[in-house]
């Protein structure tokens, strides 16, 4: 398991998170990312190619999405734990860059395009 991540599986009920209300209301909603910790590693489903199909830079668009995710995480941590959202966002960004530059584990697996 990755450095700093200790999970007691007996205390966690393994089920998906709720679908955000806006995504439930919007007939044009698109799921872009799903991430699970399973079998001692990270497993993701990714909607690769959606932005490219619209003539946008795929990598840059994913960067924008990930930055938005960081802001959502920071807002949630502030709401739940009272830690300043800008402090949390900075800490996440620093950890993100450290992990990109000095990975704590290998990335493995295959990309399987398509939807369920």
Q: How far apart are CA 83 and CA 79, in angstroms?
A: 8
Q: Flag whether pLDDT at 12 surpasses 90.
A: no
Q: How far apart are CA 32 and CA 115, in angstroms?
A: 11
**Each residue of 40-89: pLDDT tens digit?**
888 899 999 999 999 999 999 999 999 999 999 999 999 999 999 999 99
- Give me the pLDDT at residue 86, please: 98
Q: Flag whether pLDDT at 24 surpasses 80.
A: yes
Cβ pair 73, 92 in contact under 8 A: yes
Question: What predicted TM-score, i.e. pTM, was given to this entire model?
Answer: 0.81
């Amino acid at each position: 398991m990755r450095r700093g991540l200790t999970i007691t599986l007996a205390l966690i009920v393994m089920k998906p998170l709720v679908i955000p209300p806006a995504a439930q209301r919007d007939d044009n909603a698109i799921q872009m990312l799903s991430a699970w910790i399973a079998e001692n590693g990270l497993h993701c489903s990714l909607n690769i190619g959606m932005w490219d199909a619209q003539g946008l830079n795929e990598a840059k668009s994913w960067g924008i999405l990930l930055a938005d995710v960081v802001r959502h995480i920071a807002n949630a941590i502030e709401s739940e734990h009272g830690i300043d959202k800008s402090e949390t966002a900075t800490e996440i960004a620093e950890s993100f860059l450290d992990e990109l530059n000095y990975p704590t584990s290998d990335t493995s697996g295959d990309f399987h395009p398509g939807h369920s």
